[in-house]
Structures are given as C-alpha cells and as structure tokens.
A and B are shown apart, each in its own frame.
Chain A
Amino acid sequence: MAEAPLLSVRNLRTYFDEDGRVVKAVDDVSFEVGKGETVGVVGESGSGKSVTSLSIMRLVPMPPGRIASGEVIFDGQSLLTLSDRQMRSLRGKRIAMVFQDPMTSLNPFLKISTQLMEVTQLHLGHSKAEARAHAIEMLELVGIPDAARRMDQYPHEFSGGMRQRVMIAIALSCRPQLLIADEPTTALDVTIQAQILDLIRKLKRDTGTSVVLITHDLGVVAGMADRIIVMYAGHVFETAPTKELFARPGNPYTRGLLLSVPDVTDMTRGELYQIPGLPPDVSRLPPGCPFAARCDRAEAICHEVFPPLVQLSTQHHSLCHFAADVYQQPMQRTVAAADA
C-alpha cells in the first residue's frame, strides 16, 4: 500500500494485574486500518477484541490495566504518548466509538439534544443554535423521524434500535475519520440489526469514514467488512481480506468457527461441527498455542512452542504452525453432507 494507513496498531500488549496474577488480555496485537476501509474484528468473549478497542481509545481503566508495550499510530500521531488533554480533544472528534448497549452509554438524566449538542459545542466550537441545528440534521441523517420534536426527549423514550441510532448520530457528529463500533447490533433484533448495519454502510459510503466493526457474529462481518481480524486469547489468530478468509481460512480456529455456525441456506440437517472444550483462561495460558487443547489439527509442537505468524498471501496471515497446510485444504461448508 502506497498510502499510509489511518490507524496502525503495533505489538500492543494490554495487561491487567489482578490478585497478583497478570491477565494478558491483549498480547502482541498488530493490525492496520486503511482510509475508508472497514475492518471486522471477530472473537469470543475474552478474546481481547474489546480491550483492543479500549486501548486504542485510551479508555482502559488504569490500574488494574496497563499498556505493557506497543504503539498506536493514528494519522501519523502516536496516541499512547499524547497527554490526557490532547487525547480528549481527539476522542469523539476524530475517533468515535459506538458501544453494544445504547442504554448504558447514553446518560438517562439528559435529553438527547443536550447529549448531541455537547459534542459539537466542545469539539467544533458550535454556538448553541448551530449545535442544535446540526444535531437535528444528524438525527435526520440516521433516520429518526420527527427529529426536531424528538430532540428534547430522554433516552428512555426511545426504543433500543432508536437509541443505537442516537449513539451513531453522536459518534458521527464531528465527522470522525475512524468509527469503532463494538458489537453495535448485538442487543438488537434481527430486523433492527439490518436497519443499523444498512445505516453504517450508507454513512460510510457518504462520509468515507474508516470503520472498525467488533463482533462475535461472522454473518455480520461477511456483509460489512473489507478485511477481517480473528482474535483468540488475546492474540490475532488470523487476518485476511473477507472473501479469502471465508473461502480459504488458514487457521484451524477460524475454520472451526466458520463450520460451527448453522447455515440457513444449508438444507442438510446433520450434526454441526463443534470446537471441543472451552476458551482458555488468559491468566493461565499454557506454553505453546493457546488453541492447541481444542484443535483437531494439533501436534506435539503445538503444545510446546508458540506458533509463528505465517504469511499465506499478500494480505493473509495466520498464527499457526501448520498454517500453510490448513490453507491448502478445501473448505467444506457442510461436514455432515454424507447424511443427506
């Protein structure tokens, strides 16, 4: 890529000190987000996907958290060395975030108008009248009907989907260069999820914002992301362009995840592929690959030696001793095709 990426995370390590143990929530994570690109971050609970985004935003509670090492470069600026004040002027203006639960991220005591207007008054120096006009415009943009009237209502007067639209309106108020959406549709019903994803897609097209979409749902990233990062136990396990990741995963964990999702278009009803066992406790990881105990491809080396990050094609990397082998195997969507 000739153009410098908008966001570059390098060797990020975010640790939590708890009861004398070190929880390595994020352990040596590196990735980039290009201008106008949508990157999907997929992982289960405890994989470190949310802590990664909180580290970028410098919202990790410290203590018990600490950034043990690494760099976050945003538009040429190193975020981890900024003063709190500099960071505040950037957060919400140039990088914005949308969280999973819109009820807990909106202040229940303040009108929607107040919460929308304070962003542009603070960051863009809007007067009250300007901020109000802009806020109405934003609400209309995210598809809230009767925006001028609804402006002065409180969060509880909005439905879950509408509250998430308000959150997106707040996040996009200052036309950020980067939007981090952490499970933005997980708390919502499917028809409302479709509306919100449609909205993010449309806004991205119109404003050119880069998006980091964090989710546990492979279906959501399949239709949204240009590139996908798969996280497990604090590590990036695989990263690839979306199409390639789904067609030719190079990591047994990714492969297992893809196979274990029931497919609505699949007409055979055989047994689902299942990844055995449980996600590991990141404070007591064994030596070797953190996935080895659950992996059907694992050999002796996997339990002893931490796997290398193997490059499979220009943009495709996988953390696995046998990445090249896995990459060569054809992906069969239905394991139990023989039953049909």
Chain B
Amino acid sequence: MNADIPPVVRQGASGPLVSVRDLEVHFDLRRGAWWKAQAAGGRTVRAVDGVSLDIESGETLGLVGESGCGKTTLGRAILRLVQPTAGQVLFRGRDIATIPQAELRRQRRYMQMIFQDPYASLDPRMTVGQIISEPIETFGLATGAEKRARVADLMATVGLSERFINRYPHEFSGGQQQRIGIARALAPHPDFIVADEPISALDVSIQAQIINLIEHLQRERRLTYLFISHDLRAVRHTSDRVAVMYLGRVVELADARRLYESPLMPYTKALISAVPIPDPAVEARRLRIVLKGDVPSPINPPSGCHFHPRCAYAVDACARVDPALVEIKPAHFAACIRISAAEPDIDRVAPGATPGLAS
C-alpha cells in the first residue's frame, strides 16, 4: 500500500519530516582481513548507539560534536548511505532503514546530501553540466532543452555563471566546487538535505558566502536541513535547534539559542565555552572550561555515561547508569543523571546527589 501514497504529499505542520528512532549503526571490526581484526581486538564500533530525534519540516537541525562522535555516520544512516544496524528512520512516515532498494532509490530524490570535501565529491571526468544533469536524468525529471534550462537555472541559483557549464571540477576554487555540489543536491527538488560539514574545507571569507547561500535556499525552497558541523559558530548561526553528540549518543538537544545561552549537560557547557570568540574583550573575561583528556575511542567507550571520565561533576553512579535523554526544561533535553526537571542547574545540585536517577 506504500506505493499508493503520492510521494510529493507534505505532512505540513502536522508532524516531523524525519523521525529517527533508536537508531544504531555498529561496525563489526572482526570482518575483513584477519590482521585488521587482530588490531581491532575483534570489537565493534558503536558509531551511532541508540539515537532518537525528530527533524521538523522547514527547520534546520544542527548536529555538533567532536571527531569520532558519530555525527557523520548518523547523517549518512538517515539517508541510508550506510545501513543502520537497528532502529528506524521515518521519512514522511516510511522507514528508510528497511524499505526495499527500488523504493529507496525513488525516495532518494527527496533526500539529498552536501559533502564536506567538495572536490572529492565531484567526478573529475564529468563537466559541471553533466554533474548537475545527472540527478535530473536519474530521476527522469526532464530531457533535452528542458533539462538544459534546468541546469542553467540551478547554476544561476547557486551563483555560478552559465559560461562554466562545460568546465571540469578542477578548474574551480573550493567555494565554487561547493556551489556545484549544492546545485547537484538541489537538482531533483529535494525536501530534505543533509549538509555534512559543508564549510569546513573552505576559506574564512568563502564560508560566509556558502552559509548565506544555504540559508537563502532554505527560505526560497522551504528546505529542511540536518546541518552537521564541528564548527559551533556556524551551527549557532544556521540552526533552529541543535543536537550535541558524544560517542554515538545525543547528550543534549534544545532550541539553538537556549543551548548556547544556558547549556545543561557538563559536556555541552565545556564545548561551548571552548569556542574562541573573535572579540578580545570577551575572550579576556570569559571563563573557559578546559576538559581533561581526549575523546575516548568508540570501540570501547566508558561504561555508563560515556562522558564521565572527563566530567568534573561525575559521581560513582555515572559510571554505572546509562543516562536517558530527558526533557529537563520545556523542549530542552539532556542526558545527565545529576540534573532533573526539578533541579536543572548542575552547579546547585547537592554534592553527590543524582536527582535524575529518581525520576
């Protein structure tokens, strides 16, 4: 009966466009060459370890975290560019994680991706025109003169001159290559775009151009974004809501403004305090929380709350209990047993107390 539903129907304000439920992506390191399995100790990387979140139609959900936290894998799993191990990805009510390949290919038209490395994501042997036409052909959207007109229109939309239509990717700068990648993502008229670190490979003066372009396209085409970045400044600017990941789990999720102004979870507090602010007056008086140690390996993450070995607030229970993502304040979720809705400020919680455990 799935096939009867016309794919262009929007759910409007009635529900999220994308719903991720208990999503897990595990990579089994025992597979492959035996020496690699030996080196890995025969373990499993839990890159995404039980993530649930909703992406509302028309919003930008920012996804932040440090390298190895699983944010890229989560983005790819939502588009099923990697196969989830367990859980659901509901896109307009259909489970992308389990639908048959043929149906998945049809749905891909509505879910596109912008990649971090613009050059690596473009086929060096194809011209710009061919790159942008490919999705139009794949999904059978237009042919001949109409296709050419669409390509020219897309190039204009992303700020590339139509004169470049027969040029190859290497003839462009990084920022222009990213524009080509964006035009390709827009070509099949998607509703949802996963933008994975779309500006990190670009120069500072070019980053603002691409951020503005991405935001402009959202307003013009009512796009929904998952904006993945380690750059907390860019995420603050682009996102309506922000999810913070640490070692495969979402540890905090809130409206962007609230998350940056009053983070609840100790990891988020440290992360936000570590962002350098381009204002010497602010830098001179702000209090920076410097975390001890590195992000542990996701092959063998710490027990309980994965953050507890680096956390200044950790108590014994933190090593035992897996904290659930709980609504601490309205629409503000955090995974920490040392806070609760009644006692949201970790600095005011009695030493050793774990109000989050009782609830």
Q: Which residues of A contact B (CB under 8 A)?
A: 44-45, 159, 161-162, 189-195, 197-198, 216-220, 222-223, 242-243, 246, 256-258, 260-267, 269, 271-276, 278-279, 294, 333
Contact = CB atoms under 8 A, between A and B. Distances in A.
Contact of A257 (B205, B257, B272, B274): B205
8 contacts: A44-B205, A195-B291, A222-B277, A257-B205, A260-B205, A260-B207, A272-B212, A294-B205
B275 A223 contact: no
Contact of B66 (A191, A261, A263, A266): A191
A243 B281 contact: yes
A272 B271 contact: no
B294 interface: yes
A240 to B, nearest CB: 11
Given A261-B233, A271-B215, A190 B275 contact: yes
Which DSSP category, helix, strand, loop or mixed, fits chain B's interface?
helix
A264 B205 contact: no
B234 A262 contact: yes
A189 B176 CA distance: 26
Contacts of B281: 243, 246
Contacts of B271: 190-191
Find the residue from B204, B236, B273 having the highest chain A CB count within 10 A: B204
B31 interface: no
Given A216-B203, A271-B212, A278-B173, A263 B233 contact: yes
Given A195-B291, A222-B278, 13 more contacts: A44-B203, A189-B66, A189-B230, A190-B274, A194-B288, A194-B291, A217-B276, A261-B208, A269-B237, A273-B208, A275-B209, A279-B173, A279-B205
Contacts of B272: 264
B204 A222 contact: no
B270 interface: yes
Contacts, number: 129
Given A190-B271, A278-B176, A278-B206, A219 B276 contact: yes
Given A217-B276, A223-B276, A189 B295 contact: yes
Interface in B56-102: 66-67
Given A223-B276, A271-B212, A261 B204 contact: yes
A267 B205 CA distance: 21
A198 B260 CA distance: 22
B111 interface: no
Contacts of A276: 209
Contacts of B275: 190, 219, 264
Interface in B163-177: 173, 175-176
Nearest to B206: A278
Find the residue from B232, B236, B257 having the highest chain A CB count within 10 A: B236
B208 A45 contact: no
Given A223-B283, A267-B257, A191 B270 contact: yes
A264 B260 CA distance: 7
Closest 7 CB pairs of A and B: A219-B276, A223-B283, A262-B237, A260-B208, A189-B66, A194-B274, A218-B278
Given A260-B208, A261-B233, A191 B291 contact: yes
Interface in B123-141: none
